[in-house]
A and B are shown apart, each in its own frame.
Chain A
Amino acid sequence: MDLLRFTTAGSVDDGKSTLIGRLLYDSKNIFEDQLEAVEVSSRKRGDENVNLALLTDGLRAEREQGITIDVAYRYFATPRRKFIIADTPGHIQYTRNMVTGASTANLAIILVDARKGVIEQTCRHAFIANLLRIQHVVVAVNKMDLVDYNQESYDEIVRSFSDFASRLDNIVEVTFIPISALRGDNVVEKSENMPWFEGPPLLYHLETVYLGSDDNHVDARFPVQWVIRPQSDRFHDFRGYAGRVAGGVFKPGDEVMVLPSGFSSRIRSIETYEGAVEEAFSPLSVAVTLEDEIDISRGDMIVKPNNPPKSGQDIEAMICWFSERKMAPRGKYILRHTTKEVKAIVKEVRYKVNINTLHKIEDDLEFTLNDIGRIALRTSSALFYDSYRRNRNTGSFVLIDEQANETVAAGMIV
């Protein structure tokens, strides 16, 4: 069984919670006691039907306000796949939460209210999916029951979304599905109310969408996380470089180079608890041993000499600002990239993006909460990186406030 991680975005009241509740419920991933609790709450609130949206409402504050904040992770499985949902709120003030949810997703479901059509928020959600390099997008046109399951409203949404999405170059595939989350049309079962729609229902699409190209299996990258040195007689000389493959494929005998030292060696073995293995690729966690004794520590990267990453101290990146505190002009931050931590200074803000219109903003360059834009950074020592487009693991970083230790920004290297 494989694993699909997806994120959901929608404006308040588009029916996101109902849809997730429906997916969990119809795929029989809801337990009796959970359902009972929701029935009780629904009755207390005076809701007419059992409110499936309550299944996904986590924290007290949200229950009180009746909206989803933060990112909540949900799980369900069908015989075909296991799914992890990053459930995020859709309002602009939660852009950072959407960015967070999108960072680990392979697919994004964007909800559109059939009555409202493609609105500013829809474009924002698509922009974020694209920025975080989610290659598969599903536009779920919801509340079809409220437009009499009418094909024209749907077609109009397909047209205007496609128009907009043609400008988003990371998205490989957009799939449109007309649904009613409340009534269940085209969620798990194919709807009889929309015979004009020929595609499969949402769940079937989620179960079958092809995910092969999401991990990079071309450029070999192994950030060293931890050095394993057993203090035992039996493994006296053992030195294993532990880490998770961030890209490409490694095999025993491969010629490798260690950065930043530039020393080269060969892979002697790739070790796991079960014994040595013949290859390691992303996203597996292994330990590598080398033929030669080289001084290697956390933060170093093992690569192949014929295909090294970019290296340097000047980084251009798109960032999303996460903090209530503004970015300081020429601000200094801690930058965390793979397993490495360096200092970084913001050299220049190139522009910000109005994420509703996708226009560049060049007159107001101050980053405040939820702002997205492009900056130039200089780091205290060289980073070994790829563009985020090429590799999500070696192309991403976060900025951390040195005093508060707070994560203030997420960055994608251009």
Chain B
Amino acid sequence: MLSYKVNHLKQLEAEAIYVLRETAAQFEHPALLFSGGKDSILMAHLARKAFHPAKLPFPLLHVDTGHNFPETLDYRDRYVQEAGARLIVGLVQDSIDKGRVTEESGANASRNALQTVTLLDAIEEHGFDACLGGGRRDEEKARAKERFFSHRNDFGEWDPKNQRPELWNIFNGRRQHGEHFRVFPLSNWTEMDVWQYIKLEEIELPSLYFAHRRRVLARGNTLLAESEHVEAGEGEEAEEKTVRFRTIGDMTCTGAVESGADNVEKIIQEVAAARQTERGTRADDRRSETAMEDRKKEGYF
């Protein structure tokens, strides 16, 4: 029987592929949320495995805040080309122009919260009934209870107290018209698992993940990249440092960490020794202790 042992990465892979295939089978118009971050890249990679040698049976959907790192957009466009995938971009700028949302102002202004509206608009416009997200349960407390198949009501809201029970590997994606699901194939992966798998599979990532020289601003506990969207305020001064990003999102709220890890191997060592959760560098979670839960209820990814 020993030969039938499967290591943890292989088990997680098999599970994620299973969930991706269930999504394709149970929904009419799924989409894969692709941000150019490592989790969404991993998910897209697993999706290619799941349907190989056919192309992805669903499009990639990128909710673009307009404040992306240029490296992310580069990577995205190359990836889409290489995978022969279909890309749909939802622009937060469009939501602002249409008056659907109002832009925050002030030093800590961020478009992060606005993404929710753009995402829900894109879901409605394209009639998506399932959005595959790269969320992991180990990222944040509120996510620990997230289902693989997470039901959203007509308004895109999540009701944490009234979730469908999920047993074994039987997923219930039945829905009424207008409702949709968020599906999280990476639910059981930890940050360490993700990195180990990226190494094992030699998955290419945007250069932002690796140590590089960059001008950054220290704000609160985070280092933000200086850019046209993040400018030094009073008493602040940008400094050049060797940094890398542990998550990739909107430039206005994704913090860098000082690090010399310039390859996956070194990142794994760093993660093993890490003293801060990945989200510890994200300004948007720090607004209140239950910030994530509040945003999720409104339909955040």
- Tell whether, in the assembled complex, residue B22 and residue A225 are in contact, meaning their CB atoms are under 8 Å apart: yes
- Tell whether, in the assembled complex, residue A336 and residue B172 are in contact, meaning their CB atoms are under 8 Å apart: yes
CA distance A56 to B24 in the complex (A): 33
- Tell whether, in the assembled complex, residue B51 and residue A228 are in contact, meaning their CB atoms are under 8 Å apart: yes
CA distance A228 to B274 in the complex (A): 41
- Tell whether, in the assembled complex, residue A32 and residue B168 are in contact, meaning their CB atoms are under 8 Å apart: no
Q: Which residues of A contact B293 (CB under 8 A)?
A: 59-60
B1-35 near A? 1/0 per residue, CB < 8 Å: 11011111011111101100110110000000000
Q: Which of A74, A97, A284 contacts B10 (CB 8 A)?
A: A284
Q: Which of B2, B165, B192 contacts A322 (CB 8 A)?
A: B165
Q: Which residues of A contact B10 (CB under 8 A)?
A: 284
Q: Is A150 an interface residue (CB 8 A)?
A: no
Q: Is B176 an interface residue (CB 8 A)?
A: yes
Q: Which residues of B contact A196 (CB under 8 A)?
A: none
Q: Which residues of A contact B17 (CB under 8 A)?
A: 244, 285
Q: Is B276 an interface residue (CB 8 A)?
A: yes
Q: Is A126 an interface residue (CB 8 A)?
A: no
- Tell whether, in the assembled complex, residue A1 and residue B167 are in contact, meaning their CB atoms are under 8 Å apart: no
CB closest residue in chain A, given B164: A407
CB closest residue in chain B, given A249: B4
- Tell whether, in the assembled complex, residue B175 and residue A405 are in contact, meaning their CB atoms are under 8 Å apart: yes
Selecting from B68-76, B110-118, B141-149, the interface stretch reads B141-149
Q: Is B260 an interface residue (CB 8 A)?
A: no
Which A residues from 70 to 109 make CB contacts under 8 A with B? 70-75, 77, 81-82, 84, 87, 96-97, 99-100, 103-104
Q: Which of B22, B54, B138, B163 contacts A70 (CB 8 A)?
A: B163
Q: Which of B48, B145, B168 contacts A103 (CB 8 A)?
A: B168
Q: Is B193 an interface residue (CB 8 A)?
A: yes
Which B residues from 158 to 172 make CB contacts under 8 A with A? 160-161, 163-170, 172
Q: Nearest-CB distance from B54 to chain A (Å)? A: 4
CB closest residue in chain B, given A37: B289
- Tell whether, in the assembled complex, residue A31 and residue B280 are in contact, meaning their CB atoms are under 8 Å apart: yes
Q: Is A283 an interface residue (CB 8 A)?
A: yes
Q: Give B contacts to A, CB under 8 Å.
A: 1-2, 4-8, 10-15, 17-18, 21-22, 24-25, 48-55, 137-138, 141-142, 144-145, 160-161, 163-170, 172, 174-176, 187-188, 190, 192-193, 274-277, 280, 289-290, 293
